[in-house]
């Protein structure tokens, strides 16, 4: 489990495409405190550390993960939002995030609003119904508050601090992003749709 509060920007330093795809990610994390088998959210995807070295760790992604997320487009030099797994007693500054990306969105526009930037993002219709004004959504692993919803579009504001400490400062219109809907929204929808036989 995660909170959607990004704690480092990593950089992909190597990619090996074989049966599964192996990524090595450079990080500022103290890797002496990261165990093999630990979970790290990489652009919102919960991935398992399979190897580590001085200033880097490795993860593997299956074909399923590559098909449902932006990981399939990662190459050497790609910058990645990172978050280590939540520990009991940690501050919960964002919202409960599982690291299970449901699908992709696309940044349609970026508009300055004061010192912040307003991003308008389109999601697939199947996901749009789970996104509500003033609700939470994780986009590329970042916990965000939804400002408005219009059909399959929603808007979020990104403050200067978030632009500086995540990959949001370099994002551009047309860019795909990983979307994880709020866990509560998912279960409420399931409960309202379920009809026992």
DSSP string, 98-148: -S---EEEEEEEEEEETTEEEEEEEE-HHHHTT--TT-EEEETTEEEE--E
For the chain, give every residue range classified as CATH 2.40.30.20: 8-84, 103-193
Residues 148, 119: contact at Cβ < 8 Å?
no
The pTM for the full model equals 0.92
CATH number at 103-193: 2.40.30.20
pLDDT digits (tens, 9 = 90+) for 82-122: 999 988 888 878 888 999 999 999 999 999 999 999 999 99
pLDDT digits (tens, 9 = 90+) for 141-164: 999 999 999 999 999 999 999 999
Options 3.10.310.30, 3.40.190.10, 3.40.640.10, 2.40.30.20; CATH for 8-84 is 2.40.30.20
Confidence of residue 190 (pLDDT cuts 50, 70, 90): low
């Amino acid at each position: 489990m995660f909170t959607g509060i990004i704690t480092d920007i990593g950089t992909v330093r190597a990619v090996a495409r074989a049966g599964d795809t192996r990524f090595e990610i450079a990080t500022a994390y103290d890797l002496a405190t990261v165990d093999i088998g630990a979970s790290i959210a990489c652009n919102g995807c919960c991935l398992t550390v399979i190897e580590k070295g001085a200033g880097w760790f490795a993860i593997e992604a299956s074909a399923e993960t590559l098909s449902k997320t932006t990981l399939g487009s990662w190459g050497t030099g790609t910058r990645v939002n990172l978050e280590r797994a939540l520990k009991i007693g940690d501050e919960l500054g964002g919202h409960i995030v599982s690291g299970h990306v449901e699908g992709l969105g696309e940044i349609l526009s970026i508009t300055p609003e004061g010192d912040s930037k307003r991003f308008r993002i389109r999601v697939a219709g199947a996901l749009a119904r789970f996104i509500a004004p003033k609700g939470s959504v994780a986009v590329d692993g970042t916990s965000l508050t939804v400002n408005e919803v219009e059909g399959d579009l929603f808007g979020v504001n990104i403050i200067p601090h978030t632009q500086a400490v995540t990959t949001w400062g370099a994002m551009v219109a047309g860019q795909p992003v990983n979307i994880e809907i709020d866990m509560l929204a998912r279960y409420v929808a399931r409960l309202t749709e379920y009809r026992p036989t």
